[in-house]
Amino acid sequence: MPTTALLWLRRDLRLGDNPALRAAVAQSERLIPVYIHAPEEEAQWQHGAASRWWLHQSLSALDQGLRQRGSGLLIRRGESLAVLRQLIVETGATALHWNRCYEPAVIARDSAIKQALRAEGIRCSSHNAALLSEPWELKTGAGEPYRVFTPYWRRLRAELLKRDDLTDQSAAPDALQPLPTPLEQLPLEALDLRPQIPWDQGLQANWQPGEAGARAELERFLNGPIEPYHEARDWPFERGTSRLSPHLHFGEISPRQILAAIRDRGIAAEVAEPFERELGWREFSYQLLYHFPHTPSEPLNPRFADFPWRSGDTEPLLRAWQRGRTGIPIVDAGMRELWHSGWMHNRVRMIVASLLTKNLRLPWQAGARWFWDTLVDADLANNTQGWQWSAGCGADAAPYFRIFNPVLQGERFDTKGLYVRRWCPELARLPDRFIHQPWQAPASLLAQCGVRLGRDYPAPIVDLKESRAEALAAYDQVKGSS
């Protein structure tokens, strides 16, 4: 009887450069790829609506890729350990392979499964498919996890330069054994990942989930935008970033594959470094999440646990921010882009986060939760680190007193107002001088451009100057505490 291995797929939804798949194929005669839908095991960080949409598309693409190789994706739903045990009984599998995830609840779940199944005689092997360096591998000279990015990146980059595996991409297997029959197969539609109300047209128009889509996005980026990336990454009106973040989160492409492609193209180190640094920031975020698992809900800097956030009825302010109705054009443009496409330009993410946490003085956790539900690239490590950076309470954080002025940010990075005009078309006729601060325009000009503040476009919900002073006063209350 052929030896059989289960390949438990989670956020490694690709066939190329998949260490668990590679090991399972090498060590067993028959492979059974399985996806188990168990969102409750993610604790409070189950996939948001946009991520569920992406997951559906990605699982469909993966199943198609497996079918092209003679196999297929077995879908089950239920408590993971119970489902795996049942599959072991049904298939006679003697081995289980998976690629590691690093969210605290998933680490605990996977550790318990490995211990239980090994006690029952099953060979369980976990692999690294998501990161260039495991979170526990790089330490400071004092043996502590890094809390500042620049020395971390310097160390990681030095390590990467020593490695010889970044040009040896592992191809997907040409053929796989068919799934044994009969095996119960849950249809993908039964997972109810797609929205009941069809709000996802913008996502469909902007994204191609799956391994092929990830490769196409990488090729687009390497064929042009990587050259001016060090500047163009700050311009929200251009497609100047890689847009690989959702593909990385779902494991449709690995950071190793990305670096290998850069090396294979012969792209100069000084050109590639600004982009590779962003991959390093992702690694840094995973290191922080691993060593400080409380940070998705609590500040890394304990002084901010008692920060005096705005009191009273804050729901109208939060809702205006969520819906892109703050009256601050660059902020509203970003929030509307997010709602429509499931994504937001990184420069604008920092601007909208600064307005929420500094000017509106609403908790960063509220912003992180909204991003979690609306971003197709919602990733616990990156989302947590980004919001704590913006709020000034995390590792390597922007100082709390560094408060982005959204008007100046818009004038600097969207000089002609192209981004604002796209997402806030009611302001499209305003001249460049006032596109980022319509409240400063003369009433006659507003009327000429068809803009009635408070009706066609909201008046600002907060005074930027006064709210900045209030935020600094609030910071004074915590900066001296221990």
Q: Where in the sequence numbering do the catalytic residues fall?
A: 278, 281, 309, 346, 364, 387
d(CA 85, CA 185): 16
Q: Are 35 and 59 in contact (CB under 8 A)?
A: yes
12 among annotated binding-site residues: no
For the chain, the residue count is 482
Q: Closest by alpha carbon to 350, among 380, 383, 302, 390? A: 390
237 among annotated binding-site residues: no
260 among annotated binding-site residues: no
d(CA 309, CA 478): 11
379 among annotated binding-site residues: yes
d(CA 119, CA 427): 65
CA dist 142 → 109, 145, 147, 317 (Å): 31, 9, 12, 44
d(CA 240, CA 263): 20
d(CA 114, CA 470): 51
265 among annotated binding-site residues: no
222 phi and psi angles, rounded to 5 deg: -70, -20
DSSP secondary structure letter of residue 78: S
378 among annotated binding-site residues: yes
Residue 282, both tokens:
């992702």
CB atoms closer than 10 angstroms to residue 291: 17
Helices in 207-254 by DSSP H: which ranges? 211-222, 229-232, 245-249
241 among annotated binding-site residues: yes
d(CA 456, CA 167): 54
Residue carrying the six token digits 């092997």: 125
377 among annotated binding-site residues: yes
77 phi and psi angles, rounded to 5 deg: -135, 140
Whether omega for the bond prior to residue 182 falls within 30 degrees of 0, making it cis, is yes
d(CA 226, CA 404): 26
Report the b/e string of 94-109 with b at 16+ CB within 10 A: ebbbbbbbbbbbbeeb
Q: Are 149 and 1 in contact (CB under 8 A)?
A: no
Q: Are 84 and 110 in contact (CB under 8 A)?
A: no
Instruction: For 297-312, give the DSSP string.
Output: TS-SSGGGGG-----S
Q: Are 31 and 15 in contact (CB under 8 A)?
A: no
β-bridge mates for residue 124, sequence order: 96
- Which residues, 6+ apart, have CB-to-CB distance to 278 below 8 Å? 242
* Centroid of chain to Cα 83: 28
What number of CA atoms fall less than 13 Å from residue 469's CA on the CB side?
A: 3
167 among annotated binding-site residues: no
Binding-site sequence positions for FAD: 229, 241-245, 275, 377-379
Binding-site sequence positions: 229, 241-245, 275, 377-379
